[in-house]
Each structure stands twice: as C-alpha cells, then as structure tokens.
Structure 1
Amino acid sequence: MAPVTMRAFEPLRLRAGQMLFARVAGPEGPRNRALIHNTPGPRWFPPESPIRRVHADSAMFVGGLSALLLQTLHPVAMAAVAAHSGYRGDPWGRLHRTSTFLATTTYGTADSAQAACDRVNAVHAQIQGVTEQGIAYRASDPHLLEWIHIAEVASFLRAHQRFAAQRLTARECDQYVAQMAHLAQALGVPSPPHSLHELRTRLAAYRPELRATPQALDTARYLLLSPPLPVPALPLYAALASNAIALLPPWAAAELHLPRWRRAERWTVRPSGRIITSLIRWAMQVPTEPSRGPVASSSP
C-alpha cells in the first residue's frame, strides 16, 4: 500500500480553510482581502514586525475570545456594548467588521488604515447612554477606549506566547505593545501603554473598577455556551473556549464564575489548544512571511 502523503489531505485543507475564512471574514472577505493586500502604498507596519506576526497566527482565535471575556468586566463599557453593539442579533456581522478592521489596520495601506479608524471614531461619536445605575457614558470616552484596548493587547499577546508557532522575544513583546499603541491613538486613546511593563501597570490600575455585572455574566454565558455555530463545530469551539478561559487572569475568571482547574488545564486544556490552533494554522496556511493573517488568509 502506498504511503499517505500530505498532498492527499489537500482537498480537505482547502475546504476547511475556505469555511474558516468565510466564517471570519464574511461574504466580502475575498474582495476585502484583495484590496488590503494588493493596494500599493506605504503601510503603518513593515513586514516581519511583531504586530504582523501576532495577528497572522491562529492563536488569535483563542486570544480574541479571551479578550471579549475580559472586556465584559468593566461595568460601563459592558453596558455600552450590551445596548449598542448588536452582538446577539448579528454576531457574525460584528465578527466580519472587526476582523476586516484588524486586517486593514495591520496589513493595509496607511491611508486605508486611517480611514478605517476614522469610520470607527465616527460611529463611536454617535453612541452615548446611561447605565442602569445612572452613570452616563460615551463610546468615545478615552478611558473606556483604553480599557478595551489594553484588554485586547494583553489577551492577544498572552495567547500568542502560549500557542503561536514562533513566540516573541521580550524586546518584540515591547515592540508589539508600542505598535498597538499607534492604533489606539488613532482610535482616540491619548496615552496608551508602549511597553509590556506599562501594559501590566495600566491593567492593574483598572482593577478597582472591574467587576462582573449581570450583563457581563450573561454575555460570558452566551459566548461560551450558546455560540451561533453548527453542531459539528461545537467540540472545536469548546476547546477554543476552554483555552480562552485558561488565558484569563485568575481574578477575572473568578469574577465571571468560570471554573479553573490547574491540573486539567495543564494536561488537557492547553494540549487541546495547541492541537486546535495547529489545525487552524494548517487549514488557513498562514505563511512564514507574515503579510497575511487569519482574518485575511492566503487560503483560496
């Protein structure tokens, strides 16, 4: 019997890559991908830069979900998201818009990246309201924007260092935080952290403000237990979700009433995360040259 080669799995890889790309990028994904990567012009971030490497790796699938869980813990930010984001009514549309924004700002031309930020700022300028506790909020509030930003940066970086094909050095971690700061400033955060030490300090400074409101707990249950996915995909999502929980700081998991079992995480959860992210990486064929990422994969 002839040995089975990887070429025999190519149709499966292509099909899996197409399905993943369609889920993440939406029906406009191929068109957006072509515009992002093929439009000539200067970019905000050069090839081989840490931000391109982080956003190109499949570890982002775990980091993104972990970031959403962490972000729910700011009561005012959570109230704004619950009232205005439409994440329940159109979860895939929200994912498509977020992934396209991230791809545009990371890999697109400088003009495209700035235009994408300008569009987000215009939307934020229209969003305001009052929480159930009577606290007024604006989506353009720099303090709330900074919380969303640092929760994302910390979660993306933590996931990358745990699951990526190639981890960042300490110096590259600082570079990643600094490059993300450029994006944060374009979105209205006046003084975001520029190093890993500053990021950790800023996270600690927000800690007194953070707690799990009923809205946060409800959102966490939705994200973890009721994802809008077909039944065959649920076991794979469960592995991503369990690893997203394991990435959270212990205090954050406790606030959200999410169980943490260290032995289970070491022997079952983390291995499953490595397997799932490796499978996603294989399916989407993220190249060594990180000019494209999971949100704008090179898969056909």
Structure 2
Amino acid sequence: MLVDTVRTRVGSALFSRVAGPDGRANRARIHETPGPRWFAPDSPVRTVHGDASMFIGGIAALLLQSLHPLAMAAVAGHSGYKGDPWGRLQRTSTFLATTTFGTGEHAQQAVDEVRAVHARIRGTAPDGRAYRADDPHLLTWVHTAEAYCFLGAHQRFGAHPLDAAGCDRYVADVARVARALGTDDVPADVSSLRDRLNTYRPELRTTPAAREAARFLLLTPPLPWAVRPAYGVLAANAVGLLPPWARRALMLPHVPVVEDTLVRLGGHGMTRAIRWAMRPPA
C-alpha cells in the first residue's frame, strides 16, 4: 500500500540520520544479543528513551547544557558539533540505545569507550579557566540537563507519560548510567533533580559559544530546506521546555498564548508522525 511505502521510506530516512550507516547492525546487536540488561523491559528509562519525544528533549538538552561555560568550551573545542553534527548525534544515540536496551556487557563497553574519550579532552575556556571532560562536576551538569529535558519532553509529548512514581524511577534509572560515567552524587528522584539544576545556576551564563550553538541548533541546522519547517516545530517545542531563566539567558522569545496552543499542538503532531514513521514493521 502507498501509505506503508511512505511510512517505510520516511522511517528509514529518519533512522539513517539518527543511527548512521551502521544503525541496522547496531540495532540488531543491541536488541538481539542475549544476556542480562541494566534495565528491565518495563523500566521507565526504556519508555522514555524509546519514544519520539526524545527528538525534542535532545534539542532542549543541548541548549540547556550550553549555558555552562566550561561544558560549552569542551563541546566547542572538541566535539565537532558543527563540522560533523550527524556523526555526533549518531554516536550519542547509539550510546543511549546501548546503555538503555543493550546487554550489561555492551553497556559497560559503551561507558568505558566514552570515559576513554573524556580522559583525553583537556583545554582552557575563553575566560581562562581550565577544563577537562572527565571532571565529575561537569559530567553531573551534563547529566542533570539531559535528565531534566528528556523527562520533560516525554511528560509533555510522550505516547505514555509516566506517573509520579515512574518519573522518580526514571531519574533513578539514568543515575545508574551517570555514576558509571564518573559523575558526582547524582539526583535519584525528580525533586532532587530540580534542586540540582538550581544549584548550578550561579555557574551558568551566556557566552558567545553558547549563542553560536543556539543559532546553529535553531536557525541554521544542517538540513535540506524541505524538512526545515518540520525541524522548526521540534526546535520551537524544545525551547518551550527550557526553564524561564535559561530562555532569558539565551535571549529566546516567549509568546505564551502561541506556544501553549499552536506550537504545542505542532509538537504533538510531529512526535506522532515520527512515532508512526519509525514504528517497526509488523
């Protein structure tokens, strides 16, 4: 049928962008290798990380993370996010999929590989401060921003939002991965996640690198013009997930009536479309 053909083509195009040329092989390895997993099939982390709302949550997380000058300096200096944005996305999505759905052995291998990369990244930020990517304090900031945005996107746009206990379990689930990566004492429930986000606020500010990253993510993404309107809907809803203070820091506009109606409806429509397109064949 024509509808099935369209769904398959769109889904394949999305999957190849997110997962990369080795995506199918990685998916088979992650899901089909027998062995114990870090997370049970009914774990909230699997519900959240397996949903299309991650497209919105991921953009929001990058915007929020950019507000830490040392974290942003490390990204700007070493990640290649502008020269190879799809490669960075593919590496990140493979890591998330492996630690969420893969065997415990594969999850640990993925963590070890990331830690080895982090151990080599050192530098000096434009303000003169030294940074290193394996700094537990910076790792905890990156984790906190991700957990906040991933969960927030799922609760707003996910197919099956979690109840309060499920949200706390999600934060506890992702804390396991964060500890394996070398973070400080990470939040274990939603309340402590929000508290930890606020404890970082005195360290956060807008830098030229953060503004450049926001422009890249929101205004000049590396996408064909034909699909930029769809991406724009996702990006607008990512902005809507940010705390008000983060939006002000990045000088992102806030139009409450429009955002709470048209923009949010568009976000629901886009995540449903992505979910439909990427649904595995029966």
TM-score calculated relative to the size of structure 2: 0.98
Q: Which residue of 1 aligns with 2:145?
A: 151
Q: How does 1:285-300 map to 2 (within 5 A)?
A: 285=279, 298=280
1:127 aligns with 2:126: no
Counterparts of 2:9 and 2:71, CA distance in 1: 38
CA RMSD of aligned residues (A): 1.0
Q: How does 1:36-55 map to 2 (within 5 A)?
A: 36-55=30-49
1:56-109 superposed Cα distances (whole Å, 9 cap, x missing partner): 110000000000000000011101110011011111111111110100000000
Please tell me whether the aligned partners of residues 18 and 299 of structure 1 are also in contact (alpha carbons under 8 angstroms).
Answer: no
Q: How far did residue 8 of structure 1 move?
A: 4.4
Please tell me whether the aligned partners of residues 240 and 273 of structure 1 are also in contact (alpha carbons under 8 angstroms).
Answer: yes
Please tell me whether the aligned partners of residues 117 and 187 of structure 1 are also in contact (alpha carbons under 8 angstroms).
Answer: yes
Q: Which residue of 1 aligns with 2:68?
A: 74
Q: Which residue of 1 aligns with 2:78?
A: 84
Indicate the SS of the match to 1:44: coil
Give structure 1 stretches of 5+ with no counterpart. 1-6, 286-297
1:242 aligns with 2:236: yes
1:101 aligns with 2:88: no
1:115 aligns with 2:142: no
Give structure 2 stretches of 5+ with no counterpart. none
Indicate the SS of the match to 2:200: helix
Q: Which residue of 1 aligns with 2:172?
A: 178
Counterparts of 1:76 and 1:37, CA distance in 2: 36
Q: Which residue of 1 aligns with 2:55?
A: 61
Counterparts of 2:83 and 2:226, CA distance in 1: 22
Q: Tell me which amino acid in the other structure corresponds to 1:203.
A: L
- Structure with greater contact order relative to length (CA < 8 Å, sep ≥ 6): 1
Indicate the SS of the match to 1:229: coil
1:213 aligns with 2:207: yes
Counterparts of 2:184 and 2:221, CA distance in 1: 35
Counterparts of 1:121 and 1:27, CA distance in 2: 24
Q: Which residue of 1 aligns with 2:225?
A: 231
Q: How far did residue 190 of structure 1 move?
A: 3.3
Q: How far did residue 299 of structure 1 move?
A: 5.4
Counterparts of 1:189 and 1:225, CA distance in 2: 32
Counterparts of 2:49 and 2:127, CA distance in 1: 37
Q: Which residue of 1 aligns with 2:130?
A: 136
1:276 aligns with 2:270: yes
Q: Which residue of 2 aligns with 1:265?
A: 259
Q: Which residue of 2 aligns with 1:256?
A: 250
Indicate the SS of the match to 1:178: helix
Q: Tell me which amino acid in the other structure corresponds to 1:92.
A: W
Larger deviation, residues 58-67 vs 189-198 = 189-198
Q: Which residue of 2 aligns with 1:25?
A: 19
Q: Tell me which amino acid in the other structure corresponds to 2:72.
A: M
